[in-house]
Structure 1
């Protein structure tokens, strides 16, 4: 299993792909440890900006539109311009403020569907994180509450369909099992 320092070193050993910066996408299965890995990598790279793509989803059924939202954020950054994304407010169940991201040396996107093939040309390093379904479901319900079980079961099916369509795991540079 690759450590956070190995993930960072692998990205830094590659040429910049996001304008003058680098992009690490930490994709994989819900509840597998993507957020934890992203935070650990960012601790080693204080210049890094981390965006959890859960905040870019239009609710529980927002996976189909995520790739386009991320692409719209990344293309300006690749041109050296400020990118923008709109945050989903999970409590209010609606779109909230728009956030700016200025070009920088390292952007880390973490979340299910964070590495769509439509912007492969901008990805410096794609990391896939996985764990068995039972473990992931238990982690998700511990975080979100047992009342979210129906949402989680639908989500697990949605993410499977997305990753099969995108062939994400096969495109990964590094695969980590937690």
Structure 2
């Protein structure tokens, strides 16, 4: 696929074709990372990728970074858990393991296992495409939309009482993404609130597609 600089509709299946055509980099599993600012639409996109993957008979699992953060200040620690207890273990031929963080109880809860027999692992959430994961990833996706849309979605989901938390998070993630160059290193940049007509369950609207940078340093 060539680089594009204008909104372009792509099918989810075309991106899965690209992933399957390349080598597995996480043991026998292919890894997709979906990153971008909070409220941009990452979880929705991950669900659609998983549905299309399962429709073609792939063994697929979605891991949400929100399940690894130990609260609002836990994104970097959450990525460390992903890297050390899921990705590195799978690269070594062992099942990934993590405990889901219960935001209501403010404590880690039940154990989850990520088997080495997966065809596809989709990790979505802020920090999912941090540099240390790049060598294992077959596809890095960045999802974005305006700050107003993102904040509106967050307040609708979490309530007005958490507005200040959201604003603090938005400032933090902006600086984190700049340091990681997360957007620049993405293979695909997706519009999380597109005006272009498309079929949301099977298609996405991209702003840019680049498959010529596959290293953590790029």
The two structures have a TM-score, normalised by structure 1, of 0.95
User: 2:48 is matched with which residue?
Assistant: 40
Shift of residue 10 of structure 1?
Answer: 2.4
Q: How does 1:97-108 map to 2 (within 5 A)?
A: 97-103=110-116, 104-108=118-122
Give the one of 137, 150, 164 matched to 1:150. Answer: 164
Q: How does 1:139-178 map to 2 (within 5 A)?
A: 139-178=153-192
Aligned CA distance change for structure 1 residues 27 and 177 (closer, same or farther; 3 Å): same
User: 2:32 is matched with which residue?
Assistant: 24
Give the one of 60, 63, 84 matched to 2:75. Answer: 63
Shift of residue 4 of structure 1?
Answer: 2.3
State the distance in 1 between where 2:78 and 2:183 align: 17
Does the 8 Å contact 1:26/1:129 carry over to 2? Answer: yes
User: 2:66 is matched with which residue?
Assistant: 54
State the distance in 1 between where 2:151 and 2:20 align: 33
Matched, 1:92 2:100: no
Does the 8 Å contact 1:30/1:156 carry over to 2? Answer: yes
- Unaligned runs of at least 5 residues, structure 2: 1-8, 193-218
Task: From the CA coordinates, give the structure whose radius of gyration is larger.
Answer: 2
Tell me which stretches of 4 or more aligned residues in structure 1 moved more than 6 Å: none
Secondary structure of 1:92's counterpart equals coil
- Unaligned runs of at least 5 residues, structure 1: none
Does the 8 Å contact 1:7/1:41 carry over to 2? Answer: no
> Which deviates the most, 4-13 or 46-55?
4-13
Secondary structure of 2:150's counterpart equals helix
The two structures have a TM-score, normalised by structure 2, of 0.78
Matched, 1:79 2:114: no
